[in-house]
Amino acid sequence: MSYTGTVWFLAALFFSLFVLYPIVRRYYDVYIKYFSLPIVLLNMGYVMRIFHSFEAEPFFNSFLINPGILRAIAMLTLGMLVGELSDKLKNLKLSRSGKVILTTAELISYIFAFAFMIACRSDPVKRFDYAAVILIFIGLVITVSEHSYFNGKFDNRFSLFLGKSSMILFMTHYFWVHNIKELTLRFTGHDDIGNIELLLIGYALSFITGIAVYFVGLAIRKVFYKIKDMIVLSEKPACS
């Protein structure tokens, strides 16, 4: 059972930021115009060629190339492309039919991406990871451009709660989703659980774990600030 999948993914993102930040900060326009798309295609193509999916493992192969960091660089670059393309799309004046087309494309992208997420545990489906990334990319560009008829429809407290909960689910989901079958077999003697049940049970347990971790974090933060205040008070000179 692995506890480190999410930790490794975040570590790869941080390492990638160390590589990208000084370059993009100084040469942003050049990077976006001339290097972003080739880097995305080459990095993702390399990872797909080696692993037949985007589940890059944390090891260094020939020439000290780390597939996980290559994937992270590609994902961060895709995020920058989303921002660039959505800004250009936002500045366009679209007719009603144009907005209908974009809204339909956005909805289809998210529906197929969600369906892929449910089915992606099987090896044949993992070979189409790149398709899911393309779909999410298209959907995000349309969403951020604010041309969709769904724009503003989810500006409510429940959606805000889901947005805040998404990080909790991301940080805690890996163990449950990847090991729920083993745990079911251990405690019940059978593991005949479907993908939908696996998804629902895994994320329910992830959410419960996330809430527990959240309150533990609050307790640690209170202790930290209490110790900090005690140190500050002890360092203040006594009034004469």
- Whether pLDDT at 1 is above 50: no
Site of tokens 């971790």: 213
Q: Residues 2, 175: contact at Cβ < 8 Å?
A: yes
Q: What mean pLDDT do residues 52-66 have?
A: 66
Domain ranges of the chain: 154-240
Enumerate residues 6+ apart whose C-beta is below 8 A from 5: 174, 175, 178
Q: Residues 47, 82: contact at Cβ < 8 Å?
A: no
How confident is residue 125, by pLDDT bands cut at 50, 70 and 90? low
Identify residue 48 by its one-letter amino acid code.
Answer: M
DSSP 237: P
Q: What mean pLDDT do residues 57-85 have?
A: 81
The token pair at 84 is 């660039």
For the chain, percent of residues with pLDDT exceeding 70? 86
**Residue of 48, 71, 67 whose CA lies nearest to 128:** 48
pTM of the full structure: 0.74
What's the pLDDT at 173?
75
Angstrom distances, CA of residue 100 to CA of 109, 123, 194: 14, 35, 36
DSSP 32: I
Q: What mean pLDDT do residues 176-199 have?
A: 74
Q: CA 83, CA 34: separation in Å to the nearest integer?
A: 16
- Whether pLDDT at 63 is above 60: no
DSSP 120: T
**Residue of 49, 138, 46 whose CA lies nearest to 85:** 138
What's the pLDDT at 5?
67
- Whether pLDDT at 64 is above 60: no
What's the pLDDT at 104?
95
What's the pLDDT at 236?
62
pLDDT in tens, 80-119: 999 999 999 999 999 999 999 999 999 999 998 888 877 7
Q: What mean pLDDT do residues 181-205 have?
A: 75
How confident is residue 239, by pLDDT bands cut at 50, 70 and 90? low
For the chain, percent of residues with pLDDT exceeding 90? 30
Instruction: Provide long-range contacts, Cβ within 8 A and 24+ apart, for 232-236.
Output: none
Q: CA 124, CA 103: separation in Å to the nearest integer?
A: 30
Q: What mean pLDDT do residues 43-64 have?
A: 72
How confident is residue 121, by pLDDT bands cut at 50, 70 and 90? low
